[in-house]
A and B are shown apart, each in its own frame.
Chain A
Amino acid sequence: MAKKKEIQQLNEVTVRFAGDSGDGMQLTGSQFSNTTAFVGNDLNTLPDYPAEIRAPIGTVYGVSGFQLHFSSEDIHTPGDSPDVLVAMNPAALKKNLSEVKKNGILILNSDTFDLKNLKLAGYPTNPLDDDTLEGYTVFKVPISKLTEKALEDTKLSNKDVARCKNFFALGLMYWLYNRPIDNTIKWIEEKFKKKPEYVEANTLALRAGYNYGDITEAFTTRYSVEPAKLPKGTYRNISGNEATALGFLAASVRSGLPLYLGSYPITPASEILQYLSSYKNFGVKTFQAEDEIAGIVSAIGASYAGNLAITSTSGPGLALKTEALGLAVMTELPLVVIDVQRGGPSTGLPTKTEQADLLQAVVGRNGEAPVAVLAAKTPRDCFYMAIEASRIAIKYMTPVILLTDGYIANGTEPWRVPSVDSLPKIDVKFRKEKEGFYPYLRDEFLARPWAIPGTPDLEHRIGGLEKADIYGTVNYDPDNHNKMIHLRAEKIKNIENDIPLLEVDGEQEGELLVIGWGGTYGAIKEAVAKARTLGYKVSQAHFQYVSPFPKNTGEVLKKFKKVLLPEINLGQLAKLLRSEYLVDIIQFNVVRGLPFKVSDITEKIKEVYGGKNGK
């Protein structure tokens, strides 16, 4: 046994695992996350993988990464730059090194730094031998050979043995950050239930990695991050896509309506379809349609027949659904469209995040076709916004677009699981009485009656042609059209009376307000907190409702001398706010397919202050 190693306490750590897309880095990262959640840290993750399923081995563009930020305090982002990089090959080092903190830790699989791999990665000389890594704490670990050695008594093929090396790396990281390995062992046993030889091999590799840390002289220090002080309750780790799926399932249960999802696979939204397909015992109907259009149109058909109907997609799919959204506006049927935004335009960056579908969602249709638009701000918030989107759709008989993005869809964080009773109940009123029935008669919320096929005596026709007010028959009268255009707009505008006010975190008025919408919440929150510790007087307000805006929006914006708006687009919310409230907005736009770095926003805050830090 090696001598007892020192344990150093840290408040927070950012780790990035990187390797070939076939190296199992996503799996390694999610296992490390689950264990980290289990020991009680707050955490936030950012998977980052190439669009190709198996890009050429050893190349930089084939590198898959998984970043994870964990802490003994409340955190909201996956971390700006890693403290530790685990790189399984030279390409992974090449791609990620520049982002690692100065004097950060590098754990490198030294076995892969051969001529061939160095060349593929574009290293003219071996970075292990020159000064490339100066200033970093480098651990050259022969991960491949050590894994082979640990598995020499198993009967696995060389290829299968090589596949276990990510578990060696994971074991070593568990040792380094003082986390238990049992959770992962349990997971391995469950996952490979039918293949005991894999259970044995992966467990051996995991243990070998852990023991290596203990035994080898190279590692002198271990680190420990205390559990975060989270509110009492039962927790789980959750991604935005799973939370979205669960939110709609909950909306179905709480409204008593069967859930219908018409969808077509598209990155990064497919998981929502996958999750919901597995809830068949809730009576969920999932229809994998022939295309995006059939996905939404079939959902409109299902809504017409009285289901809670939704369709899930990403930007290119939303573009295809545009015409049908107009039909849902005209026929005033409840429908939720989930757009998990990705990099655009066109096919763009399928696996990267972006916020550039906002205008498409709010105004991107022919004619005056207003819909409600909501945006979830964190992975777990997707759950609540899915319920909220369903509530608004049903109550107002309108399509609702729920925007999430690739970052919060794939990213995870701990979630205090709510009790079912604490979730909002959604009232549904199907029209039954014949007396006084007209298809376009409106209630106090301007919603028309939901009279579904199968209801005796309420037979009527609807469609995409302009409707006569109240009667719902086809009508081309100019004044009627004008009236209906206004009614549809007013109905959506009225939703502002039924949603929370825009809350300001920090001083309620003053020098600088930083606003944002959707998935930038965490980065802005941490940046504002950081700026405040530096003495800047900054407040934050975040939009989860972008159409209509919260009622007090104009008022809030006018209470601050300056308003800063970071967006992962070229200023789409800024445009909407300016035109609506005639306020000036200072834009901050970085569109790199990645979430904002906290430090970038903090720097911007300082810049806006002109270095005077408000004092």
Chain B
Amino acid sequence: MENKIEIKTAKFTVKDLMSDQDVRWCPGCGDYSILAQVQRTFPEIIDSPKEDIVWISGIGCSSRFPYYMDTYGFHSIHGRAPALATGTKLANPKLNVWVATGDGDLLSIGGNHFIHACRRNIDLKIILFNNRIYGLTKGQYSPTSEKGKVTKTTPYGSIDYPFNPTMLATGSEATFVARSIDRNTKHLQEMIKRAGLHKGTAFLEVYQNCSIFNDGAFALLTDKETKDDNVLVLEHGKPMIFGKNADKGIKLDGFTPRVVDLTSGQYSKDDLWIHDEFDESPVRATILSTFTEVPGLPTPIGVFRQVFKPTYDEGMVAQIEDVKKKKGEGDLAKVLLGANTWEVN
């Protein structure tokens, strides 16, 4: 299976992608990094001209993203970005369509559009800026906020169970599911490239720090001291190893993942779960998604699963061509007449 990132001949530069708008996120916001990594990687992965790139967003801090890219952009209404992007892609399948969205936008008000975009495998790249909070409306809990979270609308703690975005995407049959972290810039760049090169619905969840309303939500995964023991970097074909000294691994007992100590001599690399990105079955990607809900397990980042199947947009084009072949190019005069006519003289 092809897993290399091909470097394309750039048709535009990083600078070409910067719009003349002042970027207006709060200082320290993780969105800056996502914007920078997108601008850095695009010249390498997109071989169509810049005017073929379209960024579509909904409502929220992350949805300001299109304003800062000097491409075509559409800042739409709350939750509807995947649906709007679907229409744009179907109207002109040659466009390179990206969706910038947040946890409230995509998983709450826009949940329906999200799962159906995944199900159809329409060729869209969806980047979820997950900060587990409503930022633009100033700090209410979101559908990815952890249970018990105290926010302005949950002064006694949230009683909602959060959505698990990668599990939802996998369950909705997205053909590409991945996760990265705003502060891990190298990894984020790699994931953006992988998503960008995928054909079909690509879902990339990015843990994004909201420095104002949920600061430090992902500190455990980004602080130098703690990150190695808490993050599992997935690599295709490699055993799942993590820890400051690469001293821990993941072993799969049936469907149950366990952390094993690689230093005690009881387990070796050969006992570990070997990551297969291209597993046709969604079961393992689902198990990987559960890691964040099981105390003691590290948080996986990387490509959870990538599979290949025809996209909706290809299907639509092919069907039109097929019907044209069978019935001949449409003849308006004939269709207007219908099956039964009569003459009045």
A237 surroundings in chain B (CB, below 8 A): 340
Q: Is there contact, CB below 8 Å, between B51 and A455? A: yes
Name which residue of chain B comes closest to A229, CB basis.
Answer: B344
- In the assembled complex, B292 has its CB within 8 A of some CB on chain A: no
**B88 in complex: contacting residue of A246, A249, A258, A305, CB < 8 Å:** A305
What 0/1 pattern do residues 454 to 483 of A give for CB contact below 8 A with B? 111111111111000000011000000000
**A453 in complex: contacting residue of B21, B51, B324, B336, CB < 8 Å:** B51
Q: Is there contact, CB below 8 Å, between B80 and A236? A: no
Please provide the chain B residues from 62 to 87 with a CB less than 8 Å away from any CB of chain A in the complex.
66-67, 70-77, 80, 83-87
B250 to chain A, nearest CB (A): 36
What secondary structure prevails in chain A residues at the interface with B?
A: mixed
Given the known inter-chain contacts A281-B330, A464-B77, please indicate yes or no for A459 contacting B116, CB distance below 8 A. no
- In the assembled complex, A253 has its CB within 8 A of some CB on chain B: yes
Binds B, one of A45-53, A413-421, A555-563: A413-421
B1 surroundings in chain A (CB, below 8 A): none
Binds A, one of B91-99, B158-166, B185-193: B91-99
Name which residue of chain A comes closest to B88, CB basis.
Answer: A301
A536 surroundings in chain B (CB, below 8 A): none
Q: Is there contact, CB below 8 Å, between B86 and A417? A: no
- In the assembled complex, B5 has its CB within 8 A of some CB on chain A: no
What 0/1 pattern do residues 319 to 339 of B give for CB contact below 8 A with A? 110011011111011011110
B95 surroundings in chain A (CB, below 8 A): 305, 453-454
What 0/1 pattern do residues 106 to 145 of B give for CB contact below 8 A with A? 0000001100100000000000000000000000000000
A327 to B81, CA, bound (A): 12
**B344 in complex: contacting residue of A232, A281, A304, CB < 8 Å:** A232
Q: Is there contact, CB below 8 Å, between B70 and A459? A: yes
A307 surroundings in chain B (CB, below 8 A): 91-92
Q: Is there contact, CB below 8 Å, between A297 and B51? A: no
**B345 in complex: contacting residue of A232, A282, A324, A459, CB < 8 Å:** A232
Most-contacted residue by chain A among B74, B95, B116, B324 (CB, 10 A)? B74
Q: Is there contact, CB below 8 Å, between B75 and A464? A: yes
A420 to B76, CA, bound (A): 38
A325 to chain B, nearest CB (A): 10
- In the assembled complex, B281 has its CB within 8 A of some CB on chain A: no
- In the assembled complex, A279 has its CB within 8 A of some CB on chain B: yes
Name which residue of chain B comes closest to A295, CB basis.
Answer: B83
What 0/1 pattern do residues 163 to 202 of A give for CB contact below 8 A with B? 0000000000000000000010000000000000000000
A593 to chain B, nearest CB (A): 29
B128 to chain A, nearest CB (A): 18
B49 surroundings in chain A (CB, below 8 A): 456
Most-contacted residue by chain A among B338, B344, B345 (CB, 10 A)? B344
Given the known inter-chain contacts A285-B320, A473-B21, please indicate yes or no for A301 contacting B337, CB distance below 8 A. no
A298 surroundings in chain B (CB, below 8 A): 83-84, 86-87, 90
- In the assembled complex, B177 has its CB within 8 A of some CB on chain A: no
Q: Is there contact, CB below 8 Å, between B324 and A281? A: yes
Given the known inter-chain contacts A461-B66, A465-B75, please indicate yes or no for A301 contacting B84, CB distance below 8 A. yes
**A302 in complex: contacting residue of B21, B75, B90, B344, CB < 8 Å:** B90
- In the assembled complex, A592 has its CB within 8 A of some CB on chain B: no
Most-contacted residue by chain B among A246, A253, A302, A474 (CB, 10 A)? A302
What 0/1 pattern do residues 235 to 275 of A give for CB contact below 8 A with B? 11110001000100110010000101010000000000000
Name which residue of chain B comes closest to A37, CB basis.
Answer: B342
- In the assembled complex, B54 has its CB within 8 A of some CB on chain A: yes
B344 surroundings in chain A (CB, below 8 A): 40, 227, 230-233, 235, 416
- In the assembled complex, B56 has its CB within 8 A of some CB on chain A: yes
B336 surroundings in chain A (CB, below 8 A): 246, 250, 417-418, 420
A285 to B116, CA, bound (A): 18
- In the assembled complex, A294 has its CB within 8 A of some CB on chain B: yes
Given the known inter-chain contacts A301-B74, A306-B92, A464-B77, please indicate yes or no for A453 contacting B333, CB distance below 8 A. no
A562 to chain B, nearest CB (A): 39
- In the assembled complex, B50 has its CB within 8 A of some CB on chain A: yes
- In the assembled complex, A74 has its CB within 8 A of some CB on chain B: no
- In the assembled complex, B36 has its CB within 8 A of some CB on chain A: no
B333 surroundings in chain A (CB, below 8 A): 419-420
Q: Is there contact, CB below 8 Å, between B341 and A235? A: yes
**B90 in complex: contacting residue of A249, A285, A416, A420, CB < 8 Å:** A285
- In the assembled complex, A54 has its CB within 8 A of some CB on chain B: no
**B330 in complex: contacting residue of A279, A301, A306, CB < 8 Å:** A279
A260 to B320, CA, bound (A): 13
A420 to B56, CA, bound (A): 38
**A281 in complex: contacting residue of B54, B56, B316, B329, CB < 8 Å:** B329
Q: Is there contact, CB below 8 Å, between A302 and B316? A: no
A420 surroundings in chain B (CB, below 8 A): 332-333, 336
Q: Is there contact, CB below 8 Å, between A462 and B21? A: no
B88 surroundings in chain A (CB, below 8 A): 301-302, 304-305, 453
**B84 in complex: contacting residue of A232, A250, A300, A457, CB < 8 Å:** A300
**B343 in complex: contacting residue of A235, A306, A327, CB < 8 Å:** A235
A235 to B89, CA, bound (A): 40
Contacts A307-B92, A327-B76, A454-B52 supplied; 16 other A-B pairs, CB < 8 Å: A37-B342, A234-B341, A236-B340, A236-B342, A250-B332, A250-B336, A289-B83, A290-B83, A294-B113, A301-B88, A302-B87, A302-B90, A305-B87, A453-B52, A456-B49, A463-B73
Report 22 cross-chain contacts, Cβ distance below 8 Å, ordered by A residue.
A38-B342, A236-B340, A242-B338, A246-B336, A283-B320, A285-B320, A289-B83, A290-B83, A293-B80, A297-B76, A302-B91, A305-B91, A331-B74, A418-B336, A453-B72, A454-B52, A458-B51, A461-B19, A461-B67, A463-B66, A464-B77, A474-B67
A residues sitting closer than 8 Å to B (CB atoms) are 34, 37-38, 40, 183, 227, 230-238, 242, 246, 249-250, 253, 258, 260, 262, 279-285, 287, 289-291, 293-294, 297-307, 309, 323-324, 326-327, 331, 416-420, 452-465, 473-474
Q: Which 9 A-B pairs have the closest CB atoms?
A: A301-B87, A463-B75, A298-B87, A282-B330, A305-B91, A302-B91, A461-B73, A294-B83, A302-B87
